[in-house]
Structure 1
């Protein structure tokens, strides 16, 4: 029989997510978990009523940082420093645990030995999620996910680890994107394990605009260029962008056809082009920023 800790600390990052945060807080405290749950919410300058909602609810300890100062690594490390418990869970404010088993199923892979590193939840999209992004959630988190064949995949949106792991391998504080990818790659190099807790489910999705898709792809690629072994010449316009975009379009078309969402293929094609262009530009910018030899 699995022995669960007597208490956990849940660190929630929040910024203008009044529309989602109450449901996430409620779901946290509705868990089938006999121990104490400490919820710490770090808000980075919300102006949509989130702060008042958190204060009125009264179940979380609120930490406010000034608007415009948010950087993922420092905030994640601050949360761990402020936490009073050794088992630490990170949960985005707009990621709502789907059921009462979310926490236990998330803790399960790491309980026997903290050296096992970190576990992360499955994410399922909201009902209003556009086809192109719903397809991505299938590719990353679905029962037949492609991500199992990728060289690496992890998401910080809903994950659990032990304080000793964070002490041994702190989260890097100078990256504005992809800090979770970089952190877990270092964990693996240090002998820790990254586990996918497929039965721990959080509801989470975004309908990014084309501009937002480009920006996020640019930011992730720039950050990951700090350690990537892929030379910029291999992230080129004719092969990586155009041929890759065509392959993306075929996959999206097949998924949309299978799930009766064929009208989504046109927007998907535009998103994929924005993502490819963003990743190419970000990768090149990252190599230059980190002063790597070209």
Structure 2
């Protein structure tokens, strides 16, 4: 078994998460880890008492920014610069370590990777998580997870990297969504390994409204269009939205039947449609935004 590093830095992002940050901080402090844990918190204008809870926990650094200043890549790059140690963990304020071994189990498989670039924890939903979103966590992190067969999957919510990696490959600072997806795809393309630390578990979930589902799907798709090779004509209403929605919903129905969540089926139908519509619009907008040079306007007639 590899020897654990003597110290790690944890960068925690927070915005109005007083309902969870106290538990997250307590579990972080109670980790079965023999070394030093430096805590750097960046709060993006919380008004719900989060800052007071964080201050009471005594972080090594608390950086307060305004909500309009929050750009994920900017914040994560800044957080890394504020850290004193080589190993840097990113932990969302609402992602509570499930046990005292969370940090140890996040580090161990990454220490054994010869070309380590980044690693991420398994996530399990909270007890109040709606069925459609609990199904997503099962698809991404469960024992029979679909994510094994996806072209790529990564989550920044509970993750780890090294200062030396970030110095060579920092986060892009022009993306408002999907910055972690772009970053880890770039790492893989340059020969780094991205590790799924399955034994490291964080509790994390959200019950998004339909409007939030559309917004998040739109934002992710717009950002991912920066590197996508899929033409907007292929992200259409009849195939991508209608048939894609049917496939998504059928999987939800099977999962709900298997796991006894029949009342969650109607909600799943609405959520999947909202997501598909958001992804379609986001991809079209993102393609236009990032690929303007490939689609010059037609010349005006004289």
TM-score, normalization: structure 1? 0.98
Query: What count of residue pairs does the alignment treat as equivalent?
Result: 294
The answer for the alignment partner of 1:40 in structure 2 is 40
The answer for the alignment partner of 1:55 in structure 2 is 55
Distance 1:103 1:146 in 2: 25
Aligned-pair distance for 1:60?
Answer: 4.2
Larger Rg: 2
Q: Does structure 1 retain, via aligned residues, the 8 Å contact 2:91–2:159?
A: yes
The answer for the alignment partner of 1:8 in structure 2 is 8
The answer for the alignment partner of 2:65 in structure 1 is 65
Aligned counterparts, 1:157-236, within 5 A:
157-236=157-236
Deviations 1:75-119 (A, max 9, x none): 000010000011000000000000011101111122145731111
The answer for the alignment partner of 2:126 in structure 1 is 126
Q: Does structure 2 retain, via aligned residues, the 8 Å contact 1:177–1:223?
A: yes
Distance 2:189 2:247 in 1: 32
Q: Does structure 1 retain, via aligned residues, the 8 Å contact 2:113–2:193?
A: no
1:89 equivalent in alignment to 2:89:
yes
Q: 1:123 to 1:113 in 2, by over 3 A?
A: closer
Deviations 1:2-54 (A, max 9, x none): 20000000000000001100100111111110000001110010000111111
> Which segment is superposed worse, 66-75 or 88-97?
66-75
Q: Does structure 2 retain, via aligned residues, the 8 Å contact 1:115–1:165?
A: no
The answer for the alignment partner of 2:275 in structure 1 is 275
Aligned-pair distance for 1:291?
Answer: 2.7
RMSD: 1.0
Distance 1:132 1:286 in 2: 27
Deviations 1:43-68 (A, max 9, x none): 01000011111112224421111232
Distance 1:16 1:68 in 2: 14
Runs of 4 or more above 4 Å deviation:
none
Distance 1:277 1:112 in 2: 42
Distance 2:9 2:216 in 1: 29
Q: Does structure 2 retain, via aligned residues, the 8 Å contact 1:54–1:60?
A: no
Aligned-pair distance for 1:152?
Answer: 0.4
Q: Does structure 2 retain, via aligned residues, the 8 Å contact 1:114–1:165?
A: no
SS at match of 2:115: helix
Distance 1:148 1:262 in 2: 27
Deviations 1:129-175 (A, max 9, x none): 00000000000010110001000000000001111111111111100
Distance 2:273 2:43 in 1: 33
The answer for the alignment partner of 1:265 in structure 2 is 265
Distance 2:130 2:113 in 1: 39
Q: Does structure 1 retain, via aligned residues, the 8 Å contact 2:40–2:59?
A: no
The answer for the alignment partner of 2:156 in structure 1 is 156
Q: Which runs of 5+ in 2 are unaligned?
A: 296-302
TM-score, normalization: structure 2? 0.95
Q: Does structure 2 retain, via aligned residues, the 8 Å contact 1:241–1:273?
A: yes
